[in-house]
Structure 1
C-alpha cells in the first residue's frame, strides 16, 4: 500500500510500519498508483501544478529506487486503472 506524503515524496507500507521512499523524478498530484505482481509500484499521469502528464515511474521495492518508464500515449489526471 502507498500513501502520497507530499507532491514528490512517497511512503510505502511495510508490515506494521511506513517507510520513506525518497522523491520521484517528476513531482505530480492526481495520479494513479498500482502495485504490480512483481512488487513494483507503477505511478502514471497526474498533474504538474498546471497540466496533465503522460509520464510514468516505477518504484522498485527491492532497491528503493524510482525510475522513469515508457510514457502513456495521452496525458491524463484523476484517472483509474
Structure 2
C-alpha cells in the first residue's frame, strides 16, 4: 500500500483525515505525509485499516494496533533524524 491507496481507502470507507487520525491516534500531518508517500507504507498501518473495517475486530484489537502503529512511527521518525 502506498499513499494513493491510503487516500482511496479513506474515501471508500468515508473517513476524513481528521477521523482517521483520531482512530489511529496519530497527527493529521502524519496522515497527510502517508497520503503523499510514494513508498510502501507500514504493514502495521494496513492491519490497523483492516481492523477499522471490521468493528468487532476493532473492539478487541484496534487499540493494540494503534499503539503498535504509534510505536513504529516514533521509531521511523527517530531513525530519519
What is the TM-score normalised by the length of structure 2? Answer: 0.33
Structure whose residues are more often helix by fraction: 2
Higher relative contact order (CA 8 A, sep 6+): 2
What is the TM-score normalised by the length of structure 1? Answer: 0.33
Structure whose residues are more often strand by fraction: 1
